[in-house]
Every structure is written in C-alpha cells, then in structure tokens.
Structure 1
C-alpha cells in the first residue's frame, strides 16, 4: 500500500518533509552497493514499489560497452534473464538506451518487441508492472533505474502521476549515487585530459589534414604535430589516428 506521507512530501506537503529527506539522504549517503540497494528499495517501497534495479553503462575510448547492474530482483529471475538472453529483446532496456523520458511498462511494449515470453515469465515473478527511468550523461554514461511491483500502475490516473514523479526522483538520486560508487571503475578507463595542442592536432586530422598541413596551420613543425597526435593516441588508449578521432568524438572532445 502506498505511503500517503511520501506523496505529501513529494507534493510539497508539510507533514512528511523529514521522512522524505531521510529517504533521499539514505540513498545519497550509501557507501556500498548493498547500502545503496537497501536505501533505494526502502524509498521505492514507500511509493508502493516492490523491487528495484539500477543498471549503468559506459563506453571505453575503444568503443567497448561496459555494464554494471545492481538488482533487487529475485535471483532465480536474474539467472533466467541472463541465460535466455532477454536483455537483447527487453523493450525497457531498448527504450532507456535511446530515450530520456520515463517508460511506464505495458504488455503492448513487450508485444511490439516480440517479447511476450519475457513478459509472461517476468509476471510469474511479480515483475510485470513498473516503470523505467533513463538518465543519460556525457561520454556515453547511461543509467536505467527500474521500479517494479505486481499491481498495475495505471489503476488510478492520480496515483499514476504521483508514482511517476516519485519514481523519477528516486531514479535520478539513485543514478548519481551509483555513479559515485562506480566512478573509480569508469575513471580507470577514461582517458587523461588532452592538452589544447593535442586537441587542435586531432581536430585538423579529423578535418582531413595531413601532419604537414596541420603543422602549417598550427605554425609548428611536422614532428611536433606527430608528437601531439601520438600523445593523444596514448591517452585515448588507441593505436591509430582513425581510432583516436572516433574515440574523441564519442567523448565529446571534438564537438
């Protein structure tokens, strides 16, 4: 049953400000995956949700995708989901990859994705009704926060609106908290900061200029241009100029 005090806090009511702050503070202050999952689950439970999932994706300079998932779903379902390759057909995952608006799950989403088998099996675990909140950052960092329950979300229009508002708040706070916890892993694969000369040399190469042509434009020697490009490739962890240009574009360095 939904805790009305949480809705009051969410809408700006006076009676539950303390509880709302405590719920969000617990998420923000989490120091481990276990603490974060517990805090997010508690906040979600206050809104009538029963299970939560937080999944973050980032892209290495080489274009490789890395994933990390924090799941409160039943372990049996997590195993079945992985073994059956459901991620590749899951419409909630597909939505969060390309959209920034929240998705309220409906059977129609799964039917259109030819994923009714996934939907029916998820329903057997009480995971058929929920919402997914996508959060996109620069450099390919994306998070999907799903809040799930067995009861349909659209039984009452007023409740649905409040559920969405609460879910989006929890989702965004959970994202930045999880992002903080796994930042060392992400930073371990992100490049060191490129110098202005390295960026300038990359930009001219991206525009089709040779090292010699770039040297004339930059008013430096060709050897110095090559030196800057080699340094940029090392920092981006790539082996040639096309890879360096692609990595720099993915990271938003040449926009």
Structure 2
C-alpha cells in the first residue's frame, strides 16, 4: 500500500472520528474546520438554498468561519444577485470545485466579485450540494489558498461532507423536537405554505381561512421571529428548523 494511500486512510479515520463524536452543531462545525485545514483550506461554510429574491448571503449562512468583513462587503454590494455560479450549485448532487484563476480566465463572474475573493485569499473553492430527508437544500463550502484539488481529493471531500451533514441533521432534528416552536400551529402552517410559493389567497383556500386572517398570522410570525418580510421569515424558519 502506498504512503499516500495510507496517509489518506489515516486522515479519513481521524476526521470521521471527530465528526461522529460531535454532539452539537458547533462541534460539527469544529470538525469541518479541522477537515478544511487537513485539505489545505482555511474556511468552511454551511448555507441554505436561497430564493431568487434573496439579497444577502448573511441571512442564508447557518454556520461559517468566513471573515465577517468578507460577508459584509459581499452583501453591501449585492453580489448574491450578481454571481451566476451560486444558483447552479443546488441543481446537482455532485461536488463542484474551481479556482479563482479559472473564474477570471473564463470571465463568468463579475470582476468585482473576483477582486473581493482575491483580497481575502479565496483562491480555491470546493462545494458539496446537500439534501436533508425533508427536502431542504444546503451547500457545504470550503475556501482557501491551495492548489486545485485532485479528483481523489474531491471524492474524499464528498464522503466527509455527507458524513458531517448526516450528523448535523440528526442533531438538528433532535433540537427541533426538544425546543417548542415560538410560532403557533396555524402560523407554522401559513409559513410552510408560503415557503411553497403560495399567495395569501391560495393559502386561505387551502386552510379555509380568509386572506385577511392569513396575513394576520403572517404578520404575527414575522414579529415573533424578528424579520422584516416574508422572504426573510421563510429563510429564518428553515434555518431554525421550524419548517421543512
């Protein structure tokens, strides 16, 4: 057995052990940060899938070690709507990897975004689209300054990501059961149907309520979760595990 293969197996065993031992979301993130460093990356981010009208990355991030200044500048410039790469990442089940050099050479990403990535040394990225048992979509992303990944490393990354997300989901489901929802059952129903793209009138028909009553439940839910609109409400409810 080659030295490289032995080192790979030892790394997998160590990282899998750390992930399996995690008892909280924070510990899962710590294990993923350890995995990031083992692969030569600096940062790790777990984010939920965004809608077309979402404007801020910060509202979609569940856990991340990215510099706060990077996220603030990304959002201040509304780069989420200007980046053609991110939306496509949720349309596949396979890991994706790229380098800043490739993005700049192909010109698929606005220069302002690549300049920001360069300033924070985000030269190489690998992402893994993930799906929960109840259909929610997530993205696990590693960023840093290292050479392009070999295919064997991408495959290894995929295995580690799936294991970590499985542990993360089990903890999240347990947390969801243990902590009572701040929303009433009717408010949760309204938010769930809103997440499915239904209007107040359509939700009223489904639940046999007037659209005025539906809007009242929506307003209450927005206030309880300290949100400013329906889009933010749905995103926050998903992140808190209140809806599937």
TM class by smaller structure: 0.5 to 0.7
The 2-side partners of 1:128 and 1:145 are apart by: 17
Match of 2:8 in 1: 8
2:25 to 15, 19, 33: 33
Paired residues in the alignment total: 186
User: Are the structure 2 counterparts of residues 99 and 109 from structure 1 closer, same or farther at C-alpha, using a change threshold of 3 Å?
Assistant: farther
Match of 2:73 in 1: 80
Matches within 5 A, 1:1-255: 4=4, 7-9=7-9, 16=10, 19-57=11-49, 67-107=60-100, 108-109=102-103, 112-137=107-132, 139-153=134-148, 160-183=150-173, 184-185=175-176, 236-237=189-190, 242-243=202-203
1:116 Cα offset (Å): 2.5
TM-score (norm 1): 0.58
User: Are the structure 2 counterparts of residues 162 and 179 from structure 1 closer, same or farther at C-alpha, using a change threshold of 3 Å?
Assistant: same
Contiguous gaps of at least 5 residues in structure 1: 10-15, 60-65, 155-159, 193-232, 248-255
RMSD of aligned alpha carbons: 3.8
1:54 Cα offset (Å): 1.2
Structure with max Cα Rg: 1
